[in-house]
């Protein structure tokens, strides 16, 4: 069966290249400083401060840093779930208990990911999360997120919807990645909040 490209994909691909190029210009000092600031901002969110379980991810490369946030959540007694990429691009989940519970995993020719080494809880484990931290490259004024294009988090969001789960959806970005508009498709779902070094912005849910 041939692949049919969805209408918004060419625009999304171009935007992804632009945002990734900007991230690649950041220095190690930039990454270190923003990681600490983002952790502080994110921990001020009631959605994270009051959560018993948070599904998150380990930042890689020039992504906004998440490790400081994950460690603080763990220290507070929050159960932190981290993803493990499956061959079909879906995500399994495991519990994070500190950097010693991570392994660097190479998935084909892609960038290596840091995944939990402990027991796998299954793809449905994410439905127990009170908040889900989503990776992204940009978010727009409606709260629509531009992902990397692998589709893993589209599956996560669809799984949450099927389960009737309504966790808070939060994305960590750099200030320049909050934009007026990104291409969106009918299946895309808005996030509830974006955290950047300069602050937090919340979005009203769509009426539909």
Task: Output the known binding site for substrate.
Answer: 58, 63
Tokens of 140: 């727009």
Give the DSSP letter of residue 178. B
Q: Which residues does the annotation place in the binding site for ATP? A: 12-16, 145-153
Count CA atoms within 13 Å of residue 7 on its CB side. Answer: 5
For 42: left if phi > 0, alpha if psi spans -120 to 50, otherwise beta; the answer is: alpha
Beta bridge partners of 83: 93
Q: Which residues does the annotation place in the binding site? A: 12-16, 58, 63, 145-153
Tokens of 56: 């998150």
**Cα–Cα distance measured from residue 205 to residue 208, given in angstroms and rounded to the nearest whole number:** 9
> Sign of dihedral through CA atoms 73, 140, 126, 98?
negative
Instruction: Answer whether 97's CB lies under 8 Å from 70's CB.
Output: no
Place of tokens 């934009």: 179
Instruction: Answer whether 116's CB lies under 8 Å from 101's CB.
Output: yes
**Cα–Cα distance measured from residue 129 to residue 203, given in angstroms and rounded to the nearest whole number:** 20
């Amino acid at each position: 069966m041939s692949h049919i490209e969805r209408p918004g994909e060419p625009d999304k691909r171009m935007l992804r290249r632009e945002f990734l190029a900007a991230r690649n210009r950041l220095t190690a000092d930039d990454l270190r400083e923003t990681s600490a600031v983002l952790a502080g901002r994110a921990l001020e969110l009631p959605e994270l401060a009051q959560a018993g379980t948070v599904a998150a991810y380990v930042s890689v490369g020039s992504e906004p840093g998440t490790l400081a946030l994950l460690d603080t959540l763990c220290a507070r007694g929050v159960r932190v779930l981290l993803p493990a990429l499956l061959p079909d691009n879906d995500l399994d989940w495991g519990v994070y208990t500190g950097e010693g519970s991570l392994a660097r995993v190479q998935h084909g020719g892609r960038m290596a990911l840091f995944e939990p080494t402990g027991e796998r809880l299954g793809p449905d484990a994410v439905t127990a999360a009170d908040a889900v931290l989503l990776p992204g490259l940009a978010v727009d004024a409606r709260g629509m997120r531009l992902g990397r294009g692998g589709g893993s988090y589209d599956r996560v969001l669809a799984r949450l919807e099927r389960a009737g789960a309504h966790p808070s959806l939060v994305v960590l970005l750099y200030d320049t990645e909050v934009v007026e508009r990104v291409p969106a498709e009918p299946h895309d779902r808005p996030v509830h909040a974006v955290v950047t070094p300069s602050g937090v912005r919340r979005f009203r849910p769509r009426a539909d």
